[in-house]
């Protein structure tokens, strides 16, 4: 598919809604869509416009937060509601690896990440140190959330542990390189000395949690790995927890000397933002705002 166009399912994943909700948005005229053959396709730029995500041509004074979690939309909305209009904060739905890379290449970018390092059994800091060489950064904790197996309700293949992916009767669907989930899968293979070529379906790629879950539901795959929140959105999918991950936010220290970035950090530590996070299921926010680095 042209990378500039998205399917309704991919839009649902980005917006953190059900696929039927996307069709309703198209029907009501809230979201532009084009009929390609028998299928609707939505331009990526129209999704970003609906979300309030910043296109590349926007003012360089605006701030872009890279990440896919719905809570970041709340953060942007709170900031913009309190802004004098000179600086706005937008979200770009790129993954952990791409977000850190973009932050290294560009000013006014803030990255979020959930990247597990198998050698140290820690999240994010080893990657931040390697991917932002020479950059003085500050890392703050946002939340913890569970990632695990997606299987059909009842777990018909009795998948219990990571090594079950090696079974002849099990087929998985993978995630794209650079995503936090793909990094977790590859690090687990390395840690357990598993040759990925022995895993049926390792080369089959889903571009989102919901697309991965849909493949499991349809039977084209027996198992996928993703976060708990997305699994709960799809009836017929059972979630089996594997590991609790840390989701953190990364700033340049020099940026935090500017009031716009300091205001953003203050909102993360605010009671209002944390109350909003508490109302969204699937998060542990007990250490939200704690500086990690």
SS3 116: strand
Q: What is the mean pLDDT of residues 64-72?
A: 87
Token reading at 100: 């850190």
Q: What is the mean pLDDT of residues 153-164?
A: 98
Looking at residue 28, what is its pLDDT?
Answer: 75
The mean pLDDT value of the chain amounts to 89
Euclidean distance between CA atoms 95 and 109, whole angstroms = 13
Q: What is the mean pLDDT of residues 49-78?
A: 75
Helix (H) or strand (E) holding 151: strand 137-152
SS3 147: strand
Count of positions (residues) in the chain? 293
Looking at residue 51, what is its pLDDT?
Answer: 65
pLDDT digits (tens, 9 = 90+) for 205-245: 998 888 899 999 999 999 999 999 889 888 999 999 999 99
Euclidean distance between CA atoms 293 and 111, whole angstroms = 14
pTM of the model: 0.79
- Per the listing, tokens 């059972």 go with 238
Euclidean distance between CA atoms 3 and 45, whole angstroms = 11
Q: What is the mean pLDDT of residues 172-192?
A: 95
pLDDT digits (tens, 9 = 90+) for 102-123: 889 877 689 999 999 999 999 9
Nearest 5°: CA angle at 205, between 149 and 34? 115
Euclidean distance between CA atoms 293 and 285, whole angstroms = 18
Name beta bridge partners: 239: 150
pLDDT digits (tens, 9 = 90+) for 242-279: 999 999 999 999 999 999 999 999 999 999 999 999 98
Euclidean distance between CA atoms 184 and 113, whole angstroms = 12
Euclidean distance between CA atoms 232 and 228, whole angstroms = 6
Token reading at 64: 């872009």
* Residue 69 vs residue 289, higher pLDDT: 289
Query: pLDDT over 70 for what percent of the chain?
Result: 93
Domains and CATH numbers, the chain: 1-51 (1.10.10), 147-244 (3.40.190.10)
The CB density around residue 67, as the number of other CB atoms within 10 Å, is: 25
């Amino acid at each position: 598919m042209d990378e500039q166009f998205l399917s309704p399912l991919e839009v649902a994943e980005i917006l953190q809604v059900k696929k039927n909700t996307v069709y309703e948005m198209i029907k009501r005229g809230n979201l532009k869509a084009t009929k390609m053959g028998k299928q609707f396709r939505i331009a990526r730029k129209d999704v970003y416009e609906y979300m309030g995500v910043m296109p590349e041509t926007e003012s360089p004074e605006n701030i872009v937060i890279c990440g896919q979690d719905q809570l970041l939309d709340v953060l942007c909305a709170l900031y913009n509601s309190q802004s004098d209009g000179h600086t706005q904060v937008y979200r770009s739905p790129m993954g952990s690896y791409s977000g850190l890379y973009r932050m290294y290449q560009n000013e006014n970018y803030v990255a979020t990440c959930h990247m597990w390092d198998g050698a140290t059994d820690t999240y994010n800091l080893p990657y931040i140190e390697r991917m932002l060489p020479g950059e003085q950064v500050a890392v703050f904790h946002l939340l913890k959330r569970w990632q695990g197996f997606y299987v059909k309700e009842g777990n018909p293949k009795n998948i219990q542990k990571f090594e079950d992916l090696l079974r002849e009767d099990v087929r998985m669907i993978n995630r794209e390189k650079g995503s936090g989930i793909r990094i977790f899968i590859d690090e687990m293979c390395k840690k357990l000395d598993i040759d990925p070529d022995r895993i049926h379906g390792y080369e089959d790629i889903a571009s989102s949690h919901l697309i991965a879950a849909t493949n499991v539901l349809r039977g084209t795959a027996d198992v996928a790995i993703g976060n708990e929140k997305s699994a709960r959105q799809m009836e017929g999918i059972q979630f089996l927890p594997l590991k609790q991950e840390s989701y953190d936010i990364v700033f340049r220290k020099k940026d935090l000397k500017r009031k716009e970035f300091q205001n953003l950090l203050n909102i993360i530590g605010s009671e209002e933002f944390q109350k909003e996070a508490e109302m969204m299921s699937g998060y542990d926010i007990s250490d939200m705002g704690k500086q990690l680095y």
